Amino acid sequence: GTHLRARTRGAKRSAHPPRASRPTQDAMAPVRKRAAAKPAARATRRGGRGRDEADAEASAPEEAPATRPSLTHPRPGHRERAKETNALFYPFRALGYITERAPFAVNRRGTETFVTVSAGRVFQIYNCEKMRLVLVGPQLGEEDPSETSPRNISALACRDDLTFVGIGSTIVVCRRTHRLCAFRPPKQNDDGAEITSLFVFGSDLLSLDAKGRVRAWDISKAKLGALDGKTKRRGETRRHEEPRQAGDDSDGSSSDESSSDNDADISDSAHIDATFTGRTFSKFRSFPGVPSGFRATSICHPDTYLNKVLLGSDDGRMLLLNIKTGSAIYEFGAFGGDAAVTCLANSPALDTVAVGLADGSIHVRNVKLDVSVAVFGHDGSRKPVRDVSFSTGRGEPLLAAVGDSGTVSVWDLEKKRLRTLVVGAHDAAGISCYFFPGSPVLMTSGKDNALKHWIFDNRDGSGRLLRFRAGHSSPPRHVQFYGEGGLRLLSAGGDDRALRVFSAIQDQQSLELSQSHVERRAKRLKIAEKELKLPPISSMAWSETRERDWANVVTCHVGEPRAYTWRLKDGVLGERVLVPPAKVGPDGVVDNKSPVTAVAVSACGNFAIVGVANGDVHRFNLQSGLHRGAFKRADKGEADEASLQKQLARYKANRLRQLNLPGGARSIWNAADRSYGADVFIKNKAARRGAHDGVVAAVVADGSNESLVTCGGDDGVVRVWVFNEQKLKGEIALFSRPFPLKGNGRRKDPFKKIVVAKGHAPSGLVAVACGDATTRVVDVAGLRRVRTLRCGGSDSDEVDFSVSQKTVATCLEFSSDGRWVLAASGDGCVRVWDVPAARLLQTVRFGGFDKGNVVTGMSLSPAMDMLATTHEGRRGVYLWANAAVYAPSATGSAKEAETTEAGADENSADENSADADASGDGPPTVTVRLPRLHAESADAEDIVLGSAPKPVERAKDEHGLSAKQSEDVIKLGPMAQTAAKAPTPAPAAPGLATMALLPKSQWMGLLHLETIRERNKPSVAVQKPEAAPFFLPTTASLAGDAVFDLDKEEREEEKDHPDENSADASRILTKKTSLGGDVENALLRLIRRGAANAAAAEEQALADAKKGVLPNGAGAGGKKPRKRKERRGVSKRLHDAFETAAVIEDESDHYHEVLLHLRSKGPSALDAEIRSLGPWDVATMTDAEADELGDVLDFFAAEIPSGRNFELLNAVLAHFLNVHGSAIRERESLRMRAETVRAAARRAWGNVDALMQEVRCALGFFGGQHGQ
């Protein structure tokens, strides 16, 4: 069930995201139409609607017009879909959700047992044998349009392949992963009370709500089976009225009283709800025998009690109820203390049930005699008992209970004493428990997002953990993609104190790293495991290089003065603990309790760098865990390195004169100290100050072990160190002047601090998020700031502290190519910046503006195809698909970049830096809903990556084609459909060649078309069949043989629709694939239309120039535009490149229709279009035929300089020259135009070749092959 809910076929890559396997509604419409035609015809012959037609409607309720919402009118639950159209990131799936607050439901199918659990608004089904996920249900919670925020699942029940889900006041019925129908009280009886419990009892579904009401819903196979075709009605064609049953408090009138008699056999009150995909039933039965004031909280069925259930109330009473007659059989008195009944469980012994109370006690009661057999206390905490379960089989009779304390207690029923107590079985409150039949295995679930199996087979009666599936029990705050493949994720930072590994491929490979026998120690000390775990992780770093050799993950923890290592290969805590040396201050005070605040791992995987809150930075060896030096800087006022060397030389000379002993320099005294006292001198003169004054906010290691970058959280300084020598290389002060505050009286400037930093090793760039709501990008090699990205900050003299702190970036992420910087802030937004262009691409708000969706951690995969995020108040890890990878048009065009660049702030720190501001008029904020547990194929109809229109609609709008002609274009094949859905990619930057992102076979086939045809030629001649199949239309030929009449169906359609462009139905050229059918083919007509548009635009420009109107709104009346500040350096080069790109783009926009036409054609169709141009014979070429070739050459000369569709245009040009090269040589005018095309192609390829040559030279230089 992991399908990307997006149409990405138009932008294919080498590795595609998973797509929806279920056909969409549009694709299935013709099939449904043909299937419904036969029963309709039979009904017409009978003179009305018959049983077959009614069965067809019952088996496919989604055929109702209002059942499946259209794309233009989304469901109320999808109110934000319209805003997601152009988002850079689209929801893919959520990881780490196992179970939540609803009790699980166990269902046995054959020899296998399955458990259904809730996870938010989705249910999941696990195979109990190996705890493997086998099915994920659809997203629910959108059935009630009155709900502003959909509720989570509150109750579950199962029967065969049906799953009943209580969510809000609605009960949704699903058959496997498909919504079947829903039960909802009528509006006059629906007060929004939440369903708390569901119980399947024969053909009835009993529901309990938050107000203690008991209702029965009909779930018979005759009613539900006909909805999806599982069962069909037999018998009479007219349904008789059913007598009202006792206790029916509904008004008797259904919400669809005008429905026909045939539909009445499906439900008495079924109606089509536009907000729900399926039918909604509103008729239920209530029970007047339930006493007033009896609020039911739990339910069970005692064995052998026919048509009777036992109800428990919130005041401790119990009631035996007959659900057929609706009468109360017997009312049991309340238990001592009037504690509420929280759970009921039937025992293997007749007439006996277990009753769990809110005061933590468990009563085993004989309901026949109304006496208590035994009374147990759960765990002594007096917290409510949530579920109890009896064991069955030949073993000892056991009773297990789980409650809000998270402890599991097991009682021996024969000895009536406690057998074992599993303290801390769950880190949060327990929800439910279940003994597997005939087995000592107990399954429990809790609110800690865990599902566990315990087996009680030890001699002392204690249990052990057999298998489990768990996620984070509290929201994580950090997430990182691990490894170059990006298939695993590390997440940590929550209050559960766990470090987890999630697999993006298989859920069963997810695990929690062990913390050195915590379970065993907690069991021995009889305390919760959480109390023995390490504090929450505040930062983590890893290196994949030495994963198989020693610990390769390093973490620092909140308030912990040590850093810990982890062996990811074994999934355990490492044996080495990195303890920074104590710091001795000037006054002699020893500081050994300062917590570690930042960690990093070198690229080689041998060293770990640890930053401490007191400003020190230390280096450790990961293999041995030994300290390998500290990064220190000289005190203020001390001499520099050159003067220090001079002082050392003088010290050595004086030392030699003092050692005037026998033997001179070769004496034994001098041999003992070969440095002549230099070591002592250097030690006394060594740097003693820490790396920073105050806390170390971040440590970043480069990719070659040459430099190390440290960021001071309090001093606001970025320092660069020589990694091997541990010496200061340089520093960058990010704040040149103090910021006066408004509304904050503290003396310490909160803006002059560094919050977080993120490095990009290949480029040597480091992004630093500062307290003034700006993100500064610094160049480590040049020791300078190159970009300032304002996330709402300001350059004014007065800054409002309360406002700016909302936009301070709390998490940063670099893309693997170094072009993007993602900054997540406390206002719930993630801002995506283009670093080279210094512009804000987009501001994305995940899930809307509320506290629960603020991003606390994020990581972009190495392939840049997925973004992983963690959110405040949410326990899962969310994956998002990058639209820039699957739909490159989402990143914006070069014209947008030019506009942003022209408006950028010119008052930067130096001439080569640029500022970008997000506080002004920038790209609008895009809201994207959070991902679901899995992607559903239905979402492919609602979300389209890149927002490409449908091919039929685009053909109608741009070419003025009829519906039939547009459908003919789509019928070319899957390749044409894929190309038609993909928008033309825009250049990512000026001067770059932009690929068409079409399948390689679409344009490569042009170059090898003859080879392909030769290969596909049949080896054996086609033989005439002896007899045609009966279902193929045939007609008589002149020879008397039967010939297939393949055009019979088309002729019949033309007779039915004679007015649909019958004149264009020419079959001379390209038959159905022809866009016009006339002598002038579609390609030539579109090229000439584009040329006419270009000529008209040029004439308009000349007319405007004569009137004094300058282009781009520069002014009129001969006024010169305002002179801007002179640009220099990179800013000037970028500005010139963007202006050139804008001019080229304006000139090439006239042939936009031609490009769309070329992208929608396959190799054979393009070959036919190209060969239909020009003369049939070069010797008899006319002027009109030469003009055709000239117009095509002009198109290539105008489009090639734009750099768009680079591989497609060059392939088409090569094939065009191969076919018409001899004709072009015959005419001087064509040769001149061909020379223009060659010059344009040479320039375009020259730019690409120059860039590739630079890359080759750089790689050769760094690889040591520049001299070869």
Confidence of residue 337 (pLDDT cuts 50, 70, 90): confident
Confidence of residue 962 (pLDDT cuts 50, 70, 90): very low
pLDDT digits 0-9 by tens, 273-292: 444 445 888 889 989 889 98
pLDDT digits 0-9 by tens, 1163-1219: 888 888 888 888 877 788 888 888 888 889 998 888 888 888 888 888 999 988 988
Sign of the alpha-carbon dihedral angle for 633, 638, 644, 647: negative
Rounded to 10°, the helix 1082-1106/1152-1159 angle is 160
CA–CA separation, 846 and 928 (whole Å): 5
Average pLDDT value for residue range 166-173: 92
CA–CA separation, 651 and 1251 (whole Å): 55
CA–CA separation, 180 and 225 (whole Å): 9
Rounded to 10°, the helix 1129-1148/894-902 angle is 140
CA–CA separation, 1152 and 1093 (whole Å): 11
Beta strands 511-512 and 195-201, pairing class: unpaired
Position 966 scores a pLDDT of 40
Q: For residue 186, what are its two tokens?
A: 């009528």
pLDDT digits 0-9 by tens, 471-523: 999 999 999 999 888 899 999 988 889 999 999 888 888 889 988 888 778 77
Position 537 scores a pLDDT of 94
Strand order in the sheet with 627-630: 596-601, 607-612, 617-621, 627-630
Return the residue matching tokens 């003994």. 435
Sign of the alpha-carbon dihedral angle for 1033, 1037, 1043, 1046: negative
Position 165 scores a pLDDT of 94
pLDDT digits 0-9 by tens, 668-686: 555 555 555 566 555 555 5
CA–CA separation, 275 and 144 (whole Å): 7
Q: What does the radius of gyration of the chain's CA atoms come to, in whole angstroms?
A: 38
- Are 351 and 368 a contacting pair, CB within 8 Å? yes
- Are 117 and 99 a contacting pair, CB within 8 Å? yes
CA–CA separation, 401 and 379 (whole Å): 9
Position 235 scores a pLDDT of 45
Q: What percent of the chain has pLDDT over 70?
A: 65
Is residue 8's pLDDT more than 90? Answer: no
Question: Coil, helix or strand for 1207?
Answer: helix
The residue type at 527 = I
Sign of the alpha-carbon dihedral angle for 1166, 1168, 1172, 1177: positive
- Are 155 and 142 a contacting pair, CB within 8 Å? no
Position 982 scores a pLDDT of 54
Position 9 scores a pLDDT of 36
Question: Coil, helix or strand for 331?
Answer: strand
Calculated CA dihedral for residues 793, 797, 798, 802, nearest 10 degrees: 20
Is residue 124's pLDDT more than 50? Answer: yes
Beta strands 866-871 and 765-770, pairing class: unpaired
pLDDT digits 0-9 by tens, 1088-1127: 888 888 888 888 877 877 776 655 544 444 444 444 455 5
Confidence of residue 666 (pLDDT cuts 50, 70, 90): low
Point out which residues pair with 371 in neighbouring strands: 366
pTM, two decimal places: 0.68
3-state percent helix, strand, coil for the chain, nearest multiple of 5: 25, 30, 45
Is residue 219's pLDDT more than 50? Answer: yes
Position 1093 scores a pLDDT of 84
Position 711 scores a pLDDT of 93
Average pLDDT value for residue range 900-923: 48
Position 1107 scores a pLDDT of 75
- Are 853 and 846 a contacting pair, CB within 8 Å? yes
Confidence of residue 76 (pLDDT cuts 50, 70, 90): very low
The residue type at 755 = V
Question: Coil, helix or strand for 833?
Answer: strand
Sign of the alpha-carbon dihedral angle for 528, 534, 540, 546: negative
Q: How crowded is residue 389: how many other Cβ atoms within 10 Å of its Cβ?
A: 24
Question: Coil, helix or strand for 7?
Answer: coil
DSSP-assigned letter for residue 931 = P
Average pLDDT value for residue range 337-343: 88
Q: How far is CA 9 from CA 745, 944, 968, in A?
A: 57, 10, 20
- Are 141 and 77 a contacting pair, CB within 8 Å? yes
Position 1141 scores a pLDDT of 52
Q: How crowded is residue 976: how many other Cβ atoms within 10 Å of its Cβ?
A: 20
Is residue 245's pLDDT more than 50? Answer: no
Q: What is the mean pLDDT of the chain?
A: 74
Across 41-55, 391-405, 585-599, least confident range: 41-55
CA–CA separation, 914 and 413 (whole Å): 77
Q: For residue 1039, what are its two tokens?
A: 């020879």
Q: How far is CA 34 from CA 29, 30, 38, 1025, 1031, in A?
A: 9, 6, 7, 29, 16
pLDDT digits 0-9 by tens, 306-324: 999 999 999 999 999 999 9
- Are 699 and 710 a contacting pair, CB within 8 Å? yes
- Are 320 and 328 a contacting pair, CB within 8 Å? yes
Q: Which of 446, 723, 744, 727 is nearest to 609 (CA)?
A: 723
Position 1127 scores a pLDDT of 55
Confidence of residue 870 (pLDDT cuts 50, 70, 90): very high
Average pLDDT value for residue range 454-460: 88
Tell me how many degrees the CA angle 37-23-977 measures, rounded to the nearest 5: 100
Q: Residue 92: how many CA atoms within 13 Å on its side-chain side?
A: 25
